[in-house]
Structure 1
Amino acid sequence: MIYAFLVFIGGCFYGILSTIVKFAYAEGYTVNEVIGAQFFFGFILQSILVLIVSRKKVSWKQAGLLMLVGTTMSGTGILYGASLVTVPASIAIVLLFQFTWIGIIIEAITNRKRPSAGKVISIIILLIGTVLSANVINGEFGAISVWGIVLGLLSAVTYALFIIVSGKVATNVPAFNRTMLMSMGGMLLVFAVYPPTFLIDGALLDGLWKYGIPLALVGTVISSTCMIVGVPKVGPGLSSILSSSELPVAVVASALVLHENVSTWQWVGVLLIFVGIAIPQLKVFREKKQSPVHI
């Protein structure tokens, strides 16, 4: 249960990211600067932790694979940010959260095993809860960009891939070393797409660091480490469900911190997401309770 809890907590911390990002945007910082600062400080913080906690040597092959895994993490941020440019935020978040069933399907294909009835029911409840909590019902939509929809779905695919591969690649490498190398790979991809002009134009010292450091701490250090430790033990399919905790936390944070209006339907959606997350765990709890105790 501790590993499932870690994945759940990892998802919760990801949910806090959107609130910090909104504060950064309110001060006039761009997507390029915010994402770049997050991965820049994420790499620095992880490198410091590795120097303090774990100096275990990692082979070049393992390092390369982990850096490649990191590109799925940063790729999600890049694609999701690009999607937000052309589609409403409520639609973009729904598109991103398709990672729940995408992760289940990928797991079923790779393991050549159908998902359990509990997982299917859980996914259905999660999708309904996602639509409600993202306030799609009350959204005002004009002509939605097809390209924006494609980008949003691609962000869901990269997020599902991150959950899956982060739990399978170089699992014998200590968690902090793995996260540091993933952060490096993610940072390099972000810098390739968004040149890090904030490092030389003064934006970093002018105040961008106030958002880059918390984003790195929450999104790169804590969340990624929780996922890296928990996913190998829990499995990618169940991890996709547990990490759905991101959306309800984002909604609650928006209400409490940003004082945004949250409708009754959105609260119903939040409740449904937690129900969807709990269903697979109830089965695990019953199985453990019914298993014989050896003395």
Structure 2
Amino acid sequence: MKYLLSVLVGAMSYGVLSTIVVLAYGEGYQLGEVVGSQLLTGFILSWLLAGYTKLRAKRTPNQPGTVTAAGVINSPKLTWKNRLLLMMAGAPTVVTGLLYYQSLRYIPASLAIILLFQFTWISVLIQAVSRRQRPNKVVLLTLIVLLGGTLLAAGIMEQGTAGFNITGIILGLLSAVSYSLFILFSGKAVPSVHPAYRSAWMVTGGLVLLFILFPPHFLFNGMLWGPLLLFGFLLGLFGAFIPPVLFAVGVPHIGEDMAGILGAAELPVAVMLSSFVLHEHVSQLQWFGVALILLGVILPELYKLKRLNPDRLGTR
């Protein structure tokens, strides 16, 4: 149960981000300042965790390739080639954050998270094209459910398309494409390395890219020592630190399929906070659409679990 809760809390942490970003925009902060303070916090916390992990490994040494008490692999030392690969794999997270956070300037947070969740079918499409395989019936049914849920959750069935900002829609969909690429690349980037070190180097790569795109003037003009410090800390804590750590702890014990199901918790949390904190209107029909999207995310994972363990999903 503690590993299930670990992954669940990690997914719910992601759902907090959009509300914090909108509040930061309300204080007058710009995109580069918001994302920069978030990644800077994530960078500091990630390297603190990596340092603690290294210190703990020295106190309780294990042979390379063995499994530690935390359930993670004690990997050999990183080469600079591996470090660069991890830094490159972290770049799509920055692009995703920039596109997603910028979309919040044009569209409600409840709609932005729904657009980001389109990574579910975009990932399927990318994999189908790369493998040159036609999606099976379960995947096609899932895509239909996701599309129907998106139309309802976005409010298109009630409001039509006239009230939507096309710039925000495009940015939201591009963030979904970027996130799909991150999932594709991150899983293949030096998987044998300890999660704490992988996370630290990936965040480092993202921070370097961001500071190239948006020079960190907020570090020197005194802006950081205000509300931005709080916003950056919360974004870094809930976006760049807590989820990777909790996923690293929980996923090895519950499996990727169950983690995929629990990961969908991000969507209702984001929509709920948008409604209660930001006072965005979310109708009952839109909530039904959110439920359909969750069903679309969970459906293929349940099918996989049933095929692998037919007795686990049977009647008691």
TM-score relative to the length of structure 1: 0.82
1:50/1:176 contact within 8 Å kept:
yes
Equivalent position amino acid for 1:74 in 2: V
2:71 is the alignment partner of 1:65: no
1:260, distance to aligned residue in structure 2 (A): 3.6
Name the stretch that deviates more: 37-46 or 156-165: 156-165
1:33, distance to aligned residue in structure 2 (A): 1.2
Which residue does the alignment assign to 2:287? 267
Could you say what secondary structure the match of 2:15 adopts? helix
2:110/2:271 contact within 8 Å kept:
no
Q: Distance in 1 between matches of 2:265 and 2:79?
A: 34
Which residue does the alignment assign to 1:46? 46
Which residue does the alignment assign to 2:61? none
Cα gap change, 1:223 to 1:114, in 2 (>3 Å): farther
Could you say what secondary structure the match of 2:239 adopts? helix
Larger Rg: 2
Q: Distance in 1 between matches of 2:121 and 2:251?
A: 16
Equivalent position amino acid for 1:57 in 2: K
Which residue does the alignment assign to 2:268? 248
Superposed counterparts of 1:1-295, under 5 Å: 10-54=10-54, 57-85=77-105, 92-139=112-159, 142=162, 150-225=170-245, 243-290=263-310
1:283, distance to aligned residue in structure 2 (A): 1.9
Structure 1 residues 155-178: Cα deviation after superposition (integer angstroms, max 9, x where no partner):
221100111211121101111111
Q: Distance in 1 between matches of 2:164 and 2:279?
A: 28
Name the stretch that deviates more: 257-266 or 194-203: 257-266
Cα gap change, 1:28 to 1:148, in 2 (>3 Å): closer
1:240, distance to aligned residue in structure 2 (A): 7.4
2:257/2:305 contact within 8 Å kept:
no
Q: How many percent identity over aligned positions? A: 43
TM-score relative to the length of structure 2: 0.77
Alignment gaps of 5+ in structure 2:
56-75
Could you say what secondary structure the match of 2:16 adopts? helix
Name the stretch that deviates more: 235-244 or 278-287: 235-244
Cα gap change, 1:254 to 1:154, in 2 (>3 Å): closer
Cα gap change, 1:67 to 1:232, in 2 (>3 Å): farther
1:144, distance to aligned residue in structure 2 (A): 6.8
Could you say what secondary structure the match of 1:290 adopts? coil
Cα gap change, 1:37 to 1:171, in 2 (>3 Å): same
1:94/1:131 contact within 8 Å kept:
no
1:123/1:276 contact within 8 Å kept:
yes
Q: Distance in 2 between matches of 1:51 and 1:9?
A: 24
Cα gap change, 1:26 to 1:139, in 2 (>3 Å): farther
2:110/2:280 contact within 8 Å kept:
no
2:114/2:150 contact within 8 Å kept:
yes
Structure 1 residues 8-64: Cα deviation after superposition (integer angstroms, max 9, x where no partner):
654432221111112222222222211110011110110100001236631111111
Structure 1 residues 201-243: Cα deviation after superposition (integer angstroms, max 9, x where no partner):
1121112111111111111112234566788999999987764
Q: Distance in 2 between matches of 1:243 and 1:290?
A: 22
Q: Distance in 1 between matches of 2:96 and 2:229?
A: 22
Structure 1 residues 169-189: Cα deviation after superposition (integer angstroms, max 9, x where no partner):
110111111111111111112
Cα gap change, 1:164 to 1:4, in 2 (>3 Å): farther
1:109, distance to aligned residue in structure 2 (A): 3.0
Name the stretch that deviates more: 283-292 or 136-145: 136-145
Cα gap change, 1:28 to 1:213, in 2 (>3 Å): same
Q: Distance in 2 between matches of 1:12 and 1:193?
A: 29
Equivalent position amino acid for 2:293 in 1: I
Alignment gaps of 5+ in structure 1:
none
Q: Which has the higher helix share?
A: 1
Could you say what secondary structure the match of 1:113 adopts? coil
1:134, distance to aligned residue in structure 2 (A): 3.1
1:66, distance to aligned residue in structure 2 (A): 0.8
1:114, distance to aligned residue in structure 2 (A): 3.2
